[in-house]
Structure 1
Amino acid sequence: MAPVFSHGDLRLYLLSLLDESPRHGYDLMQALADRTGGTYTPSAGTVYPRLAKLEEEGLVTKTVDGRKTVYEITPAGHAEVAARADELQGIEDGLTDSVRALADEVRGSVREAMRSLRADLAAAEREERKTAPTAPPVDDARVAAREQLARADAALGEFRARVRADLRTHVARGGSLATSVVDDLTAALDAAAREVTRAIRG
């Protein structure tokens, strides 16, 4: 992949980020990742040497805030950013082009990986068809029974959901739930279960 920043551009771009507000090193790395849509995430080994150079040149200062070192631009740094505004705009334009190029490469890699995966799956499917034993004839009665079982499961699930929702809503609204109601529900369910068992056993 082509580099996102040309030689010297990253230094100026870091200075422009500090021109917006003081930041610590990780915040600068995150800002660069955000500005490039995640296509470019610089390492600490890339960012910190440039910050040290900016400090040597008197363009930024650093202060320790707990476990973090915060970098802040100096008046000289502000002056350089202002003087190189046109150059910064060119960096922004080039950054946009670089990010688009990186995104195109990523998309191409993903498409190629998907094509390869589809080819592997197709080959595996062909191999499985060649080695798989001949499927036994489908038992129509068993298929029908499974379809009816699915219907029964759906009906039971719907019944349970409806009754449960009614009971919960009633109690949530402050209603009482008498023991006799639960007893009657339990008895009705037991009776229904016995009828189903009797029916399926013939």
Structure 2
Amino acid sequence: MPPVFSHGDLRLYLLNLLDEAPRHGYDLMQALSDRTGGTYTPSAGTIYPRLAKLEEEGLVTKTVDGRKTVYEITEAGRAEVAARAGDLEGIEAGLADSVRLIADEVRGSVREAMKSLQADLAAAAHSERAGAGKPATPGGSHADDPRVASREQLRRADAALAEFRANIRADMRTHVARGGELTAAVVDELASALDEAARAVIRALHRD
């Protein structure tokens, strides 16, 4: 997945957020998540070193308020934000593009996984119908028993479902681990796709 912020852009964006109001570290992380529609939530290990660097440069100050450390922009920091207004506009535009790409990638992953699941389940249902229509051979061979064939296809369906669950779960966990966050829209789309797949399987099972 492409990074949400290019090199150096996160530093300037943090400064811009502090130009709006003093904030503590968690508040900055939450603000970044909100501004990116939940697709980017940086870790403390990403935010605090940059805040420390801004403090070293004299662009922000920090004060301890109870158990929280609050960061506030200095006049020098405000001057940099003002001087780089054009850069901030470019960051905002690039940020919107990156968020759209990440959302599209997650949705595409869900759709491809659902297509694979639907194909596997449809094939299993077709094989079950074909096996049920075969005449029994003399002696009642287990290989030709429709119930045996159905149980075999059921095992295939179980394996396909398990593989889908493992793959999509791994994709989502990787997305979140890289700083992204699953939005409600993506989860809603996943639920809708699962409902659609279930209906397709039920239709296939009851098709004459």
Q: TM-score range by the shorter chain?
A: 0.5 to 0.7
Correspondence for 1:123: 123
Q: What letter corresponds to residue 93 of structure 2 in structure 1?
A: D
Q: TM-score, normalised by structure 1?
A: 0.62
Q: Tell me the C-alpha RMSD between the 2 structures.
A: 1.8
| Other structure's SS at 1:6 match | coil
**Structure 2: 5+ residue runs without aligned partners?**
133-145, 148-208
Q: What letter corresponds to residue 99 of structure 1 in structure 2?
A: V
Instruction: Tell me the distance in 1 between the aligned counterparts of 2:11 and 2:40.
Output: 15
Correspondence for 1:25: 25
What per-residue deviation string (whole Å, max 9, x for no partner) do you get for residues 58-80 of structure 1?
A: 11111112221111111111111
Query: What percentage of residue pairs aligned between the two structures are identical?
Result: 83
Q: What letter corresponds to residue 21 of structure 1 in structure 2?
A: A
Instruction: Tell me the distance in 1 between the aligned counterparts of 2:121 and 2:47.
Output: 43
Instruction: Tell me the distance in 1 between the aligned counterparts of 2:22 and 2:126.
Output: 61
Correspondence for 1:13: 13
Q: TM-score, normalised by structure 2?
A: 0.60
Instruction: Tell me the distance in 2 between the aligned counterparts of 1:128 and 1:58.
Output: 72
Bigger CA drift: 55-64 or 122-131? 122-131
Instruction: Tell me the distance in 2 between the aligned counterparts of 1:48 and 1:124.
Output: 53
How far the C-alpha of 1:89 sits from its partner, in A, is 0.6
Which one has a bigger Cα radius of gyration? Answer: 1
How far the C-alpha of 1:127 sits from its partner, in A, is 4.8
Instruction: Tell me the distance in 2 between the aligned counterparts of 1:30 and 1:72.
Output: 17
Q: What letter corresponds to residue 29 of structure 2 in structure 1?
A: M
| Other structure's SS at 1:63 match | strand
Instruction: Tell me the distance in 2 between the aligned counterparts of 1:128 and 1:44.
Output: 53
1:40 aligns with 2:40: yes
User: Compared with structure 1, are the counterparts of its residues 119 and 70 closer, same or farther at alpha carbon in structure 2 (3 Å cutoff)?
Assistant: same
User: Compared with structure 1, are the counterparts of its residues 123 and 78 closer, same or farther at alpha carbon in structure 2 (3 Å cutoff)?
Assistant: same
Instruction: Tell me the distance in 2 between the aligned counterparts of 1:115 and 1:24.
Output: 44
Instruction: Tell me the distance in 1 between the aligned counterparts of 2:92 and 2:80.
Output: 16
| Other structure's SS at 1:69 match | strand
What per-residue deviation string (whole Å, max 9, x for no partner) do you get for residues 109-158 of structure 1?
A: 1111111221232234345543754xxxxxxxxxxxxxxxxxxxxxxxxx
What per-residue deviation string (whole Å, max 9, x for no partner) do you get for residues 23-70 of structure 1?
A: 111111111111111111111111111011001111111111222111
Correspondence for 2:185: none
| Other structure's SS at 1:118 match | helix
Correspondence for 1:174: none
Instruction: Tell me the distance in 2 between the aligned counterparts of 1:44 and 1:124.
Output: 47
Correspondence for 1:74: 74
Correspondence for 1:84: 84
Instruction: Tell me the distance in 2 between the aligned counterparts of 1:128 and 1:26.
Output: 55
How far the C-alpha of 1:4 sits from its partner, in A, is 1.1
User: Compared with structure 1, are the counterparts of its residues 24 and 128 closer, same or farther at alpha carbon in structure 2 (3 Å cutoff)?
Assistant: farther
